[in-house]
Amino acid sequence: MSFVVQADRLGRKYGRRWALRDCTLAIPEGKVVGLVGPNGAGKTTLLHLAVGLLAPTSGSVTVLGASPADGAAQLGRVGFVAQDTPVYPRLSVAQHLRMGEYLNPGWDRQLARSRVEQLGLDLRQRAGTLSGGQRAQLALTLAIAKRPSCLILDEPVASLDPLARREFLRSLMEIVATDEISVVLSSHLIADLERVCDYLVVLVASRVQIAGEVSDLLSSHYRLCGPRRDARGLPASQRVIEESHTDKQSTFLVRTSDPVLDPAWAIRPVTLDDLVIAYMSREVPGERPDRPRLKVMS
């Protein structure tokens, strides 16, 4: 299997603080991959290292099998949309396209023009006066008109209203439908990720908590609720991700590939939201104490 992003004990320090430390992960190619995790988990640092905006302090990372930003060819293979989809506020839409063409050898002028037309953007308008949704769409246009093999987006829809968000994701999915392109995007909006991603990576404190196909994750996790019971009383095939107890009742979130047949349990499927929060809340071995941690109340 080939990987779009592969990191091996990757680390990056700012002064004395590690923003990402000992991060090892492998994200398969040809998928739309959602990267989630609490603020400060290292998502943005990881993505910046992957596109070559940052150099690692330790370890290594490859994108599509090559070092990030290693020459013009590699730069052309990776499209990047940074957090909050920045554009140049004083440049017009047309000037953005001209800049894209000037800077990228593989620029597809036809694609850029037709997308801008489709979106109804005025070529003479300055980017600073575009709406948030239009700005995001312009940034996406610049990233895909260079015809990359992989697209990396850092929280592209965080600041958009629900309609603009849906439009943006629709554009992104239409690109995936027409081109063979790998996409990695970070987001806190799990409902969006559930629609658009087929693969999910949960990153907490530089560590991958879980990674896999979204449909596999959903079909292998259950919430069990029933009379109070110790986690050790569960079958060995059920791995407990989260548990809470009252004096009479126990609730578990378990991962298992076998069907749960014990009639004592009320069994509910787990939403992707529940699943991500459960993994984000788990204790991480060796985690630094200064990191704020999400606690689940029981």
Partner 1 sequence: MIEFQLDSGSGVATYLQLVQQVHQALRLGMLEPGDRLPTAQQVVAQLAINPNTVLKAYRDLERAGLVRARPGQGTFIVAALPGTDPAAQSQFLGSMTDWLRSARAAGLGPDDIEAIYRTAFRNCFAEGAA
The residues binding partner 1 (CB under 8 A) are: 31-32, 166, 169-170, 173-174, 176-178, 191, 194-198, 214-215, 218-219, 259, 261, 263, 266, 268-272, 274
Identity of the residue, 173 or 240, whose beta carbon is nearer to partner 1 in the bound complex = 173
CA distance 98 to 26: 36
CA distance 122 to 21: 44
Identity of the residue, 13 or 170, whose beta carbon is nearer to partner 1 in the bound complex = 170
The count of other CB atoms within 10 Å of the CB of residue 169 is: 20
Identity of the residue, 57 or 271, whose beta carbon is nearer to partner 1 in the bound complex = 271
Residue 44 near residue 186 (C-beta atoms within 8 A): yes
Q: How is the beta sheet containing 17-28 ordered, strand by strand? A: 17-28, 3-14, 58-63
Nearest distance in Å: CB 245, partner 1: 22
Nearest distance in Å: CB 163, partner 1: 11
Residue 270 near residue 193 (C-beta atoms within 8 A): no
CA dihedral 155, 161, 164, 167 (to 10 degrees): 70
Identity of the residue, 22 or 274, whose beta carbon is nearer to partner 1 in the bound complex = 274
Residue 149 near residue 182 (C-beta atoms within 8 A): yes
Residue 80 near residue 143 (C-beta atoms within 8 A): yes
For every residue of 170-182, DSSP letters joined together read HHHHHHHHHS--E
Nearest distance in Å: CB 105, partner 1: 28
Biggest CA-to-CA distance, the chain: 68
CA distance 35 to 199: 9
Identity of the residue, 105 or 162, whose beta carbon is nearer to partner 1 in the bound complex = 162
Nearest distance in Å: CB 249, partner 1: 15
Identity of the residue, 166 or 282, whose beta carbon is nearer to partner 1 in the bound complex = 166
Nearest distance in Å: CB 119, partner 1: 14
Nearest distance in Å: CB 110, partner 1: 19
Nearest distance in Å: CB 283, partner 1: 25
Identity of the residue, 91 or 211, whose beta carbon is nearer to partner 1 in the bound complex = 211
- What residues are paired with 268 via a beta bridge? 223
